[in-house]
A and B are shown apart, each in its own frame.
Chain A
């Protein structure tokens, strides 16, 4: 599952730079907000069969500036729970209605409920397995595609 991206391991920051090509309008581009290289690696391989492109972001500010073309966003919950909620509200405030799937720990129960109360959202409790993530993304894309 995690094979194939081994050669990115050495990459450090440059390899995690986002891809800058503008995706075709109908292509499935999945945005991922997660600064952790290991997390990125398994998420990327998990999404490979269902996404034309996976674009990684280090922080919410960069994401907010470039979100208009994404088909779906997968966001790792920040330790600061309010920040993750704010990100989703900011997206909606900008008219970005793309589905958002937040990944977070069991302890983030309240945040999970608050996220779920927003439209077009889902929350998956870590640890998340590949099949679960794919199912959630497929469901999200279906709901709004």
Chain B
């Protein structure tokens, strides 16, 4: 498998250089780009890695690039960096799937932690073979009730409706739900759905 690359995208040269140096110093391969468009030119969704992406850039903002990648179906994880502590922008970027949002001037360790998490996420997304075996093994550990709850959760039904459907309390559903997430080692239903539906057939 190709070695993952940290793609650093910022229109500020001094900043690109400093991040490049930091990330390179811990042994990751890096590539730098002056704009989102320049990155898109070179981007190959098949190559593993993550983005370190500035929010504010001339022409295409980091947020616009995130939206573009999403539209393209590219799930490469993004670590945002911004000199402006705009909370609403940061919260939206995270809810749209960004791994983290780090403020400039950044703490080196915080940025490296975020990059590590992004690369872990990318590797997990790209390991369907392991997931497939693992998924089946984990389904086998579920109780009958948990399986019933999971089937309904995967249909996208809210807990209250599931409770009604199975004639159990809302609270019990939520407990099953959180146990399911625990058993599959995921932190959200979205991730569970990904595991369940997005495993390419082997």
B187: chain A residues within 8 A (beta carbon)? 119
B88: chain A residues within 8 A (beta carbon)? 125
B158: chain A residues within 8 A (beta carbon)? 144-145
A106:B160 contact, CB within 8 angstroms: no
Chain A 94-145 residues near chain B, CB threshold 8 A: 94-97, 106, 108-110, 112-113, 115-117, 119, 122-123, 125, 144-145
Chain B 55-112 residues near chain A, CB threshold 8 A: 85, 87-88, 90-91, 94-95, 100-101, 103
The verdict on A5 contacting chain B, using a C-beta distance below 8 Å, is no
A113 to B187, CA, bound (A): 16
The verdict on A92 contacting chain B, using a C-beta distance below 8 Å, is yes
Q: DSSP majority for the B interface? A: helix
A113:B174 contact, CB within 8 angstroms: no
The verdict on B170 contacting chain A, using a C-beta distance below 8 Å, is yes
The verdict on B141 contacting chain A, using a C-beta distance below 8 Å, is no
B101:A95 contact, CB within 8 angstroms: no
| A68-B170, A123-B91 known; A109+B178 contact, CB < 8 A | no
Chain B 182-196 residues near chain A, CB threshold 8 A: 187-190
A116:B160 contact, CB within 8 angstroms: no
A144 to B190, CA, bound (A): 13
B147: chain A residues within 8 A (beta carbon)? none
Interface size on B, residues (CB 8 A): 25
A97: chain B residues within 8 A (beta carbon)? 159, 174, 177-178
B101 to chain A, nearest CB (A): 5
B159: chain A residues within 8 A (beta carbon)? 97, 144
The verdict on A26 contacting chain B, using a C-beta distance below 8 Å, is yes
Measured CB to CB, the nearest residue on chain A to B117 is A117
The verdict on A79 contacting chain B, using a C-beta distance below 8 Å, is no
The verdict on A25 contacting chain B, using a C-beta distance below 8 Å, is yes
A93: chain B residues within 8 A (beta carbon)? 178
B91:A116 contact, CB within 8 angstroms: yes
A109: chain B residues within 8 A (beta carbon)? 85, 87, 90, 103
Chain B 133-166: CB-based contact to A (< 8 A → 1; otherwise 0):
0000000000000000000000000111001000
Could you jot down 22 A-B contacts, CB within 8 Å? A25-B160, A25-B170, A26-B160, A69-B170, A97-B174, A97-B177, A97-B178, A106-B87, A108-B87, A109-B87, A109-B103, A112-B90, A112-B91, A113-B90, A113-B91, A113-B100, A113-B101, A116-B94, A119-B188, A119-B189, A144-B158, A144-B159
Q: Nearest 10 pairs between A and B by C-beta?
A: A95-B178, A116-B94, A95-B175, A109-B85, A119-B188, A116-B91, A68-B171, A95-B174, A125-B87, A112-B87
